[in-house]
Copies of this chain bind each other. A is one copy, B any other.
Amino acid sequence: MPRTARLNERTIAEAALVVVDTEGIGALTMRRLAEQLSTSPMALYHHLPDKEAVLEAVAQLLLAEVEAPPPGLGWQETLRRIMRSARAVALRHPHAASLIARFPPRTPDALAFVEAGFRSFRAAGFSPSSTATAYRILVGYSLGTQDVELGGYFATHPATRSPNGSLDQPSTDRILPTVAEIGPLLAAGDPDQEFEHGLDIVLTGIEAILPRE
C-alpha cells in the first residue's frame, strides 16, 4: 500500500528530486525511488514510460522554480532577474542541476519564465529574430556557467594545483606559463560577483549588437 493516497507523475517527480538532492543523481534508481514512495519499482511504470521520463519530470519541476519577474521592468532588469533566479535554483539543487541542461522547458509552469523573458525583449522593441538570438546566448551563458560552477570546472583546473616537478616530464609551468599565471585566478573570485560580471558583459553585447524593430 503506497504511503501517498495515489501515485502520479508529480508525486513521483517530487520524490525523485528529494532522492537526488539528498543522495546525489547516482543514487536515483527505480528501486530507490520506489522505496522512497513506499511502493514497488514496477508501480512507477504505470505512470511514466521509463527512467528517462523520471529525469525529464524532475527537470520540469526545477524549471518551474525559476521565477518570472512582473511585467514593466525593462528588458535588462527582467533578464537579470531570470538569470539570477535560474542560478539560484541550480545552487539550491546542485546534484540535480545537470538535468536542466539536458531537458528544455516543456510544461506551462516551466515555460513561465521564458514567456516573461520573451515579452520583455519584444516590449523593448527587439524583433522576433533578435529575441531568439538573445535567448540562445542567455541560455548558453546560464548552462555554461552552471557546468563551470557546479561541475567544479575551475576548482580542478591543473593550474590551480601545485606543479608536478618530475624530471622526465617538464613542469607544466615551463611549457604553459600563462596557464600557470591565470589558472589560480579562475577559482579565486567570488562566484556571485563573477556571475554578475559575466552577465553585464553579455547584456552589454546584446544591447550593442542586436537591432531593434
Residues in chain A within 8 A of chain B (CB atoms): 101-102, 104-106, 108, 111-112, 114-115, 118-119, 122, 128-129, 131-133, 135-137, 139-145, 147-148, 151, 153-154, 156-159, 172, 175-179, 181-182, 185-186, 188-189, 194, 197-198, 200-206, 208-210
Q: Across the interface, do A185 and B119 meet the contact criterion of CB distance under 8 Å?
A: no
Q: Across the interface, do B186 and A132 meet the contact criterion of CB distance under 8 Å?
A: yes
Contact of A137 among B189, B201, B206 (CB under 8 A): B201
Asked, given contacts A111-B158, A179-B115, whether A137 binds B132 with beta carbons under 8 Å apart, the answer is no
Copies of the protein in its oligomer: 2
Q: Which 10 A-B pairs have the closest CB atoms?
A: A140-B144, A205-B205, A144-B144, A201-B205, A118-B178, A132-B185, A143-B144, A204-B205, A137-B198, A115-B176
Asked, given contacts A118-B181, A140-B145, A141-B140, whether A204 binds B208 with beta carbons under 8 Å apart, the answer is yes
Look across to chain B and name the residue whose beta carbon is closest to the beta carbon of A101. B147
